[in-house]
Amino acid sequence: MTKVLVTGGAGFIGSTLTRHLLNRGYKVTVLDNLSTGWRQNLPEHKDLKLVSGDVRDFELVHTVTPGHSHVIHLAAQAFIPLGYQLPVQVAETNALGSLNVFKASLNSGVKRLVHISSSEVYGSARYIPMDEKHPLCPCSTYAVGKAAADQWAQTFSFEHKLPVVILRPFNTFGPRETLPRFINEVIRQCLKEPVINVGNLETSRDFTYVEDCASAIIAALETEGIEDEIINIGTNRAWKMREVLDMIKKYLKTEEKEVVTDYSRIRPKEVTYLVTSNTKAGKLLGWKPTIDFSKGLAKTIEWYLNNGMSWGYERQVIVTKEATKLSDET
């Protein structure tokens, strides 16, 4: 039985991915510090083991990794506003924590490392659709850390022949979200708040449903001969935040609820437009999204309604007040 280590596996994307891996017969170890991940996100399963720990802990990562033939590296401080308050912590996790995972994977002789990057490393689109040759222009501490990790992953491939594939998902959404990002936070406010507080509604994003993102990661894990590749994951369609807000309000029949601009929710340097080309993903992975945005949005809302109307961040204490603000990162 193939053993896979998933860092950040108790988080939003990681918990969906872990379910997919278990269903495909993998034996999975999740390494997660549970700072934003949630134990209840994971299923009870005989082939699943949870190790509570941080990728910044060099010795722990090097203890956990041996015995796994494959590694999927998702662990990150993924909430962009946290970087405004705690830049060193975010940099240590996203950059140096990734370096620990790469070195441990190299030392353990893994057959494939799938490193999950972010569309945020590109910054705002200079041309559309954005392919893998688009220049990097990270606009936040989060994105700079992810870009640094990408560079280290490539360097480990060039210098040490680490068999790594880099995926750059564009904005992922869906059930079991653990951070207050735009879609799930608007859903929460529509149902629970007297008014809806928002930031910049004129930005646009390419939204991918979490199940499709998980299937892309598994394709990158299983497809042979794609080492050293960087692959964008997205739908080739951008949605303006104002459109998304209107769709959610209509679905929840809260069209009359007042919308208020909270200027503290606007980023210091905004990424205005993100939309990818998934041509390379289709060519190398045989992947394409299967759930369109409106259907995915409906499934996300229904999950929230049927699961106690509670996102992960509503059940956990976020240490900084910035963590209540909207964010649009992957």
Contacts of 224 (CB under 8 A, 6+ apart): none
With bands split at pLDDT 50, 70 and 90, how would you rate the model's confidence at 264? confident
Residue 323 has pLDDT above 60, yes or no: no
Q: Where do the domains of the chain lie?
A: 3-172+207-233, 177-205+237-274+291-324
DSSP string, 77-122: ---TTHHHH-HHHHHIIIIIHHHHHHHHHHHHT-SEEEEE--GGGG
CATH of domain 177-205+237-274+291-324: 3.90.25.10
d(C-alpha 304, C-alpha 307), whole Å: 5
Write out pLDDT tens, residues 138-184: 999 999 999 999 999 999 999 999 999 999 999 999 999 999 999 99
Write out pLDDT tens, residues 107-142: 999 999 999 999 999 999 999 999 999 999 999 999
Cis peptide before 180 (omega within 30 of 0): no
Write out pLDDT tens, residues 177-233: 999 999 999 999 999 999 999 999 999 999 999 999 999 999 999 999 999 999 999
Residue 45 has pLDDT above 50, yes or no: yes
For domain 3-172+207-233, the question of CATH label 2.102.10.10 is answered with: no
DSSP 166: E
Residue type, 151: Q
With bands split at pLDDT 50, 70 and 90, how would you rate the model's confidence at 318? very low
With bands split at pLDDT 50, 70 and 90, how would you rate the model's confidence at 3? very high
